[in-house]
Chains A and B, each alone.
Chain A
Amino acid sequence: MSDTADTPVLRTRGLRKQYGKGEVLVRAVAGVDLDVASGETVAVMGPSGCGKSTLLHVLGGLDRPSEGEVWLDGRRIDRLGEKALARMRREAVGFVFQGFHLMDELTAVENVELSALLAGNSPRAARRRATELLERVGLADRAGFLPAALSGGQRQRVAIARALCNEPRVVLADEPTGNLDSAATLDVLRLFESLHEAGHTLVIVTHDDRIAATADRLISMRDGAFVDETRLAGGTSGKLGALAGLEG
C-alpha cells in the first residue's frame, strides 16, 4: 500500500457487472472507473435501471463484479474469498437501504448493536456504542422502541446509526430518502452533513436532487456508465431571495 493520504478509500477500474447471457444479457454496470477520496461525499444519480444499486452492491462486496477491480483502502477486494469478503463487509462498510432493513423483532438499540456483536465486541461494549450512536442520530429516547413503533425517518436514522456501528471506512447508501417526506428527509440530510463534517466517506445513490445538491461531487449515470461529473461547491448565495420573490 502506498501513501495512505492519497490512497482513495474506494477505487474501481474497468468495473462491469452483467446478468444473464445471449438475448437477455443485461449490462447493469458497463465499465466504471471511480475514485472516492477519504472524507468525500459522492452522489450518483441516474434514471431507474441505470445500474446504481448494482454498482453499490459491487462496491460494498455484496456482489461480485463480472470484470474489473474494486479496491478498498488500497486493498483489492473483488477476489477475496467468501469469508474474508464477509468480514470486510462487516468491518469496513456500512450500508443504508431505502427500505431500512431493520430486524422487526429487535428494538432500535438492539438493531444497532447487532453489527458490533457480530464483529466480535463484548455485549457491554456493543451496547455502549449503540447507545452513543442513537444519541448522535437524535433517538436516545427511542432506544427501546421496536421499528414498528418508529416513523420512517426515525427508522432510517436507526439504520444509519447501525451502519456506523463498526466505524466503517465508507458508508454506502441506496436511496436513503426514498420513502421519506420532506421533513424527515431534512433530518437525514442533516445527519449526512454531520457525518461529512466528522470526516466520514459517503457514497449515496439516489433520485433525490436534495442529496445530489448537498454532495461534494455529483456523478450522472446512464446505461451502466458514468456520463457526467459535477462539483457544485461555490453556490449562488444572494440569489435565494429572488427565488422567493424578493428582489435582490
Chain B
Amino acid sequence: MQQEVVLAMLAKEPAYGYALRARLSAALGPLGDAMNAGQIYVTLTRLEKAGLVASEEATSTEGPARKVYGLTSAGQERVGAWLAEVSWPRPDLAEFHLKLVAAAAAGLADPLAIVDQQRRELLRRLRDAQRAAMAEPDRSDAALLLEGIVLRLQADLRWLEACERNWTERRGNL
C-alpha cells in the first residue's frame, strides 16, 4: 500500500484505522478486497514514525481503546505534493484514481485540473512516441515496440476522458 494513498485518505479529517479502511474500500470497490487490514496498520505505524501522521487514543466507554489518526503539517505537505505530481509510466491506475477521490473529498485540489495536467503529460509522451514511430521504416522491430507504446498511451488517454466526464458530472451534481 502506497504511503501517500493512506495519507490522502486522512486529508479530509482524522479517522480510526477501520474507518480509513472503509474509505479505501468505498473508493476501490472489489479491487479493495486485496488490501488486508494489517497492511494499513503497518503503513500507519510507519507514517507515524516518519512524523507524517499523529495518533490519539480515543477514550471509549466500552471495548478496547482505539486510535484516531490525523495528518501532521508535514503530512499535509506531503499530500499536497503527491496531488501535484504527475507520474505516469508506473502503471498505477489505482493510485491516480485515489488521487482524484482524495482531492475531491478533502477539497484539496480540483480533480478536473489533475486530469487535465495528466492528460497534457500523456499527450506529450504520445507526441514523442508518435514522432518516433513516424520516423521508423515500416515493419522495423522498433516500430512495433513504438506501436505498443502508442496504443497503451491511447488507452490511458481514453480512461482520462472517462475520468473527466465522470468528475464533470459529479461536480454538476454538487
A contact residues vs B (CB 8 Å cutoff): 47, 182-183, 186, 189-190, 193, 209-210, 212-214, 218, 228, 230, 232, 234-237, 239-240, 242-244
Given contacts A213-B127, A236-B125, A240-B128, A230 and B120 within 8 Å (CB-CB): yes
- In the assembly, what is the distance between CA of A213 and CA of B119, in Å? 11
Which A residues lie within 8 Å of B85 (CB)? none
Given contacts A213-B127, A218-B123, A232-B123, A240 and B132 within 8 Å (CB-CB): yes
Which B residues lie within 8 Å of A193 (CB)? 134
Given contacts A190-B134, A209-B154, A244-B145, A237 and B123 within 8 Å (CB-CB): no
Which B residues lie within 8 Å of A236 (CB)? 121, 124-125, 128
- In the assembly, what is the distance between CA of A210 and CA of B150, in Å? 8
Name which residue of chain B comes closest to A194, CB basis: B134
B64 part of interface (Cβ distance < 8 Å): no
Name which residue of chain A comes closest to B168, CB basis: A222
B28 part of interface (Cβ distance < 8 Å): no
- In the assembly, what is the distance between CA of A109 and CA of B39, in Å? 68
B116: which of A210, A212, A213, A228 is its contact (CB, 8 Å)?
A228
The smallest beta-carbon distance between A239 and chain B, in angstroms, is 6
- In the assembly, what is the distance between CA of A244 and CA of B152, in Å? 10
| Dominant secondary structure of chain A at its interface with chain B | helix
| Dominant secondary structure of chain B at its interface with chain A | helix
**7 A-B pairs closest in CB distance:** A213-B126, A213-B127, A235-B128, A242-B89, A209-B157, A213-B123, A243-B149
The interface centre, meaning the residue of A228, A239, A242, A243 with most chain B CB atoms within 10 A of its CB, is A243
- In the assembly, what is the distance between CA of A47 and CA of B146, in Å? 27
B131 part of interface (Cβ distance < 8 Å): yes
A243 near B134 with CB under 8 A, answer: no
Residues of B76-135 contacting chain A, CB below 8 A:
88-89, 116, 120-121, 123-134
Given contacts A230-B120, A244-B149, A239 and B125 within 8 Å (CB-CB): yes
Size range of the interface on B? 20 to 34
Number of A-B contacts (CB under 8 A): 72
B151 part of interface (Cβ distance < 8 Å): yes
> 10 A-B contacts, Cβ less than 8 Å apart?
A47-B165, A186-B147, A189-B130, A210-B130, A214-B130, A214-B131, A218-B123, A232-B124, A240-B132, A240-B146
B148 part of interface (Cβ distance < 8 Å): yes
Name which residue of chain B comes closest to A187, CB basis: B138
Which A residues lie within 8 Å of B133 (CB)? 186
Which A residues lie within 8 Å of B147 (CB)? 182, 186
- In the assembly, what is the distance between CA of A236 and CA of B138, in Å? 24
B47 part of interface (Cβ distance < 8 Å): no
Given contacts A235-B124, A243-B88, 19 further A-B contacts (CB under 8 A): A47-B165, A182-B150, A183-B138, A186-B133, A209-B123, A209-B126, A210-B150, A210-B154, A212-B123, A213-B126, A214-B131, A214-B134, A232-B124, A232-B127, A236-B128, A239-B89, A239-B128, A240-B129, A240-B149
The interface centre, meaning the residue of B123, B129, B161 with most chain A CB atoms within 10 A of its CB, is B123
B130 near A243 with CB under 8 A, answer: no
The interface centre, meaning the residue of A183, A186, A242 with most chain B CB atoms within 10 A of its CB, is A186
- In the assembly, what is the distance between CA of A243 and CA of B130, in Å? 13
- In the assembly, what is the distance between CA of A212 and CA of B127, in Å? 8
Which B residues lie within 8 Å of A243 (CB)? 88-89, 125, 129, 149, 152-153
